[in-house]
Amino acid sequence: MENREMFDEINALIGSVAKAMEMGEGEVISAIEQGDLGMAMITDEQGRNCIEVTHDGRTARIYQGAIFRPGDQPETAPDEDCGGGCSCKH
């Protein structure tokens, strides 16, 4: 019997890493196998959990539903009277 307890989660992570690093999924798997791709679970400066990925001198942070790379525009703080459904993603 095959143990696939985390199969879907691992596939999703590999897909996110591929998108974040602009690589194919096969390239991500090869980089992991060769020890050329680093991943660390971290808490960022705002206290949000993410996975920080490094490869070939590039870095990206993968959040639930978002990917940020150095140089990306940071999210702006929502207005205090924001009721949701607006462009601030609140």
- Segments in 1-90 forming alpha helices (H): 7-21, 25-34
Residue 76 has pLDDT above 70, yes or no: no
pTM above 0.85, yes or no: no
| Cβ atoms within 10 Å, residue 64 | 8
* Long-range interactions of 69-74: CB distance < 8 A, separation 24+: 69/20
- Reported as half-sphere exposure (CB side, CA atoms, 13 A), residue 9 has a value of 4
Task: Give the pLDDT score at 53.
Answer: 97
Instruction: Kindly state the DSSP code that residue 73 receives in the 8-state scheme.
Output: P
pLDDT surpassing 90 at residue 72: no
pLDDT at position 88 over 60: no
